[in-house]
């Protein structure tokens, strides 16, 4: 069965990678490509920036896109994603959301939409990262006592939210495994005389610079040893390939809120 896919943010770095991935996947078809209204790429071929050609022009007509597609893949910004989600709900079509930086209200809106349409919402679509989530759960349970936990992440200079959604999810996985509330034990920066590190704390460190696609490390620091679990992305293609797996997973799926653990059968 061919999955007809709409891509949001078609002129962006991730949008272009998603379009490239769809064009190379024999089980998927590029049905629509969206960009900001009035943008310079509206009306141009969706694959033009890849040195390729399709019969799909970049459009700003969200309703028309859902008329052609089975689902939409969105890695844009929270405000844009929520508008696309409302259109998906109106059309009864599925959404794959890789956008990060949602506040509590945004996450609640996604959960409400998933009551009527199928939604895959994950901070990171890469298969390798989702394997790391499982490894972290195991490691945290083994290293539950006597180890300080720090999450270190690095991204390119253009990323607008921090810590990354993946880093936060890593912190959540570890906190859940240890029976801790991340909101209560997380610290997102240190400066000045901070005092001795609390044993229950989970620290986050953020690096922004250059063209780093995405590096994530969770450090378990004990007395006389360190355990580090790391994932490094050298391109955005793993995120795109994971998103296409999510699109295929959604085909014929009932309404509900899913994540990549569901897509990969890791529940």
83 tagged catalytic: no
156 tagged catalytic: no
Q: Is the Cβ–Cβ distance between 151 and 202 less than 8 Å?
A: yes
Catalytically annotated residue among 84, 89, 93, 155: 155
Cα angle vertex 224, ends 173, 148, to 5°? 30
Residue positions annotated with a catalytic role:
155, 159
């Amino acid at each position: 069965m061919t999955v007809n896919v709409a891509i949001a943010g078609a002129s962006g770095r991730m949008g272009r990678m998603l379009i490239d991935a769809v064009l190379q996947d024999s089980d998927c078809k590029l049905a629509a490509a969206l960009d900001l209204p009035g943008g310079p790429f509206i009306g141009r071929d969706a694959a033009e920036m890849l040195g390729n050609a399709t019969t799909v022009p970049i459009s700003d007509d969200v309703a028309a896109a859902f008329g052609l597609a089975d689902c939409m893949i969105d890695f844009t910004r929270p405000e844009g994603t929520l508008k696309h989600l409302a259109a998906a709900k109106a059309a009864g079509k599925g959404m794959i959301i890789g956008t990060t930086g949602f506040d509590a209200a945004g996450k609640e809106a996604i959960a409400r939409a998933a009551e009527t349409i199928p939604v895959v919402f994950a901070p990171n679509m890469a298969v390798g990262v989702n394997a790391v989530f499982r490894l972290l759960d195991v490691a945290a349970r083994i290293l539950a006592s006597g180890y300080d936990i720090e999450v270190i992440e690095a991204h390119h200079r253009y990323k607008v939210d921090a810590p990354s959604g993946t880093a936060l999810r890593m912190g959540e996985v570890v906190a859940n495994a240890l029976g801790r509330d991340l909101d209560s034990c997380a610290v997102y920066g240190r400066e000045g005389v901070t005092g001795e590190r609390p044993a229950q704390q989970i620290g986050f460190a953020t690096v922004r610079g250059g063209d780093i696609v995405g590096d994530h490390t969770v450090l378990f620091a004990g007395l006389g040893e360190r355990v580090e679990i790391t994932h490094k992305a050298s391109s955005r293609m793993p995120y795109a390939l994971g998103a296409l797996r999510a699109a295929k997973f959604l085909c014929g799926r009932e309404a509900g809120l899913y994540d990549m653990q569901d897509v990969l059968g890791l529940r």
